[in-house]
Amino acid sequence: MDLRLEHLPADLFGLDEATREALSSGGLNGIPVPGRLEDLPRPTDRHGAGERGLLAQALGKGHEFHELPGRARTSLSVLAEEGTFCVVTGQQPGLCVSPLYSLYKGLQACRLATDLSRHWGVPVVPLFWNHGDDHDVAEVHHAHQLNRNLDLQKVKLAGLSSGRTPLSEIHFDEEVHHLSATRALLGDMYEEFEGTDSALDLFFPRPGESFVRAFTRTMSELLGPMGLLVVEPDWIRPSLSSALADLVSLDPEPLLTEGSGPNSPIPPSEAALVYQVREGQRRALRPGGEGFAFDGQPGSRTASELAAEIAGQPEEWSAGALLRPLVQDAVLPVAATIGGKGELLYHAQLAPLRRAANLPNTPFVPRISMTLTSPDVRAALKRAEATPAEVLAALGAWRPSGQPTAGEEPAPGDILRKEAERAAERLRSLRAEIAALPDNLAGNLERTARQVKAAIEKLAMKVDRVQANQSGKGQRALRRINHSLVPLDQPQERVLGPLQFCARFGSGWVEDLYRELPPICFEHLVVHLDSDADPSHD
């Protein structure tokens, strides 16, 4: 297996002003954003032997359903020792570990933990927070695949629809979810690759598994040899709820508002700060009334009343996106958090609440951004006299010279995509009016905007396919380039998953990438994969 890295500018896909400031100045609103390993300060150990022992015991019990790789077992062992720290990252559990950036987060956590351990001379463990408390099934029940016709195909499990059930409680059933049929579809899609069966055994969910359990198994097998420990929140619920109750008792909304600015992605007054799960349904509490109120229900409870409820029934409660980083920092011996640039903006809102809760300003390390290429994609780029940087920067709109570009007659599919964006933005422009109505309809508005945009983009893809079939091999090369590198006009890491790359190249490239990966990197990396065993593609 051969692997080569190409470095491209950090702002290849554009950076908002706040993120650009954070990367250049090394921080945002008091949160350190280190640019080098040496810029990461060694934290003070705030967790005693008793807390650590209970944490390691809980994680060990959670992983009893499978055999942990040796280095992951070592991580579990040293986590119980005082003076050990961890690098934390996480994501909700997508089907077949999709999209790719979930894998990249885990890989970077392993690399950063290994290098920090050498730099500080103490054990540092990579932890992946498998966010099974999430309930947005529509975000995770599918995986986009590039099929043999070079079309993006959305492969999803049957029998799953939007609801309020946490992902940890959705278990796969052969009859309901048609697992065998979906696996067979993926097998046919990549039947030319020798590693397809092995990749499906690794990535595809098994009967009886939940979204969460399938994700834990796959990530542990892939990254456990590099030391990764996956954490399912249910395993440490009592500790999490105790920390959440402490935060809620501080009446967090004014403190979160104090830390918010014009670029903050989550207005605290609208945010779901706490969730309750009862009878399999997850319900959000937001600031309202005397303190906190359920969506669409009369009445409210004060901060102290809610804190008492959480302490009394810890198994029913979980933190929303804004409070989750603080809960993690309270329960885990965190040295650094890895997240996407969007996550950085809401971490920056937390500074006043961190101070009130006496929690440290945990350094935030931006997730490494990457694009994978294969030999056939590189051959198509060479024929088209294009570079990866040119194609990626165009976000799906790249055309060879002589074909329509900006300023000339756009392709029908591109016109539809622009209309999709305009339609979504027109709907979002109504947010203020809708938010003024009861029942939290603003959330429904955002979902509707995404659905409208997705429906129009789906039509655009069909238009592209018809045009491409009419235009012969030159258009096929163009589709290979754009659909492989910027599928659905988005960065590859946000759409494609690792299944097809492991089917084609085996899983060895993951460990090769771990060895080559820098622990902190603001640039965009193009990862060129190659293998002597890889079949050629026309």
**148 or 271, higher pLDDT:** 271
pLDDT tens digits, residue range 451-463? 898 889 888 877 7
pLDDT at 471 over 60: no
Contacts of 252 (CB under 8 A, 6+ apart): 268, 273, 303, 322, 323, 353
What does DSSP say about strands 2-8 and 524-530: parallel, antiparallel, or unpaired?
antiparallel
* 359's tokens: 């929690």
Lowest mean pLDDT among 4-8, 386-390, 425-429: 425-429
Of 205-209, 423-427, 474-478, give the range with the top mean pLDDT. 205-209
Output the pLDDT for position 398: 86
pLDDT at 409: 59
pLDDT of residue 499: 97
CA distance 195 to 214: 19
Q: Can you give the pLDDT at residue 308?
A: 97
3-state class of 477 per DSSP?
A: helix
| Backbone angles phi and psi of 222, in degrees to 5 | -75, -45
Between CA 504 and CA 501 the distance in angstroms is 5
Give me the pLDDT at residue 417, please. Answer: 86
Contact by Cβ (8 Å): 297, 288? no
pLDDT in tens, 131-152: 999 999 989 999 999 988 888 9
Nearest to 242 by CA among 54, 44, 90, 43: 54
Residue 282 per-residue DSSP state: E
pLDDT in tens, 355-377: 999 999 999 999 999 999 999 99
72-107 exposure pattern, b = at least 16 Cβ within 10 A, e = fewer = beebbebbbeeebbbbbbbbbbbbbbbbbbbbbbbb
What single letter denotes the amino acid at residue 107?
L
How much is the pLDDT for 399?
83
| pLDDT, tens only, 86-112 | 999 999 999 999 999 999 999 999 999
Cα angle value 83/51/114 (rounded, 5°): 35
The residue count for the chain: 538
pLDDT band at 51 (very low <50, low <70, confident <90, very high): very high
Reported as type and span, the H/E element at residue 421 is helix 412-428
Average pLDDT over residues 349-359: 95
pLDDT tens string 220-236:
999 999 999 999 999 99
Name the pTM for this structure: 0.86
Q: What is the mean pLDDT of the chain?
A: 91
Q: Where are the alpha helices (DSSP H) in 80-210?
A: 100-120, 137-140, 174-177, 179-189, 196-203
Residues 518-522: contacts with CB under 8 Å, at least 24 apart:
518/111, 518/368, 519/37, 519/108, 519/111, 519/112, 519/114, 519/115, 519/116, 520/34, 520/35, 520/36, 520/37, 520/112, 520/365, 520/366, 521/7, 521/368, 522/10, 522/23, 522/35, 522/366
**Per-residue pLDDT for 350 more than 80?**
yes
pLDDT class of 405 with cuts at 50, 70, 90: very low
Strands 274-278 and 229-231: unpaired
pLDDT (0 to 100) of residue 534: 56
Q: Which amino acid is at 51?
A: E
- Contacting residues for 407 by C-beta, under 8 A, at least 6 apart: none
Closest by Cα among 50, 334, 520, 42 to 324: 334
- CA-CA distance, 272 to 320, in Å (whole number)? 6
* pLDDT at 406 (0 to 100): 43
Structure confidence at residue 537 (pLDDT): 46
Rounded Cα gap, residues 1 and 373, in angstroms: 13
Number of other residues whose CB lies within 10 A of the CB of residue 174: 12
3-class SS shares of the chain: helix, strand, coil, % to 5? 50, 15, 35
Q: Kindly tell me if the per-residue pLDDT of 384 is higher than 50.
A: yes
- Range in 68-77, 294-303, 399-408 the model is least confident about: 399-408
Q: Is the pLDDT of residue 404 over 60?
A: no
Confidence class for position 184, pLDDT limits 50, 70, 90:
very high
> Distance of alpha carbon 327 from its chain centroid, rounded?
19
How many Å from the N-terminal Cα to the C-terminal Cα in the chain?
Answer: 21
Q: Give me the percent of the chain exceeding a pLDDT of 90.
A: 71
Residue keyed to tokens 């830390």? 259
Amino acid letter, 83: G
Of the chain, the percentage scoring pLDDT greater than 70 comes to 94
pLDDT at residue 294 above 50? yes
- Residue 478: closest CA among 429, 528, 411, 533: 411
Show the beta-strand stretches assigned E in 250-299: 274-278, 281-288, 291-294
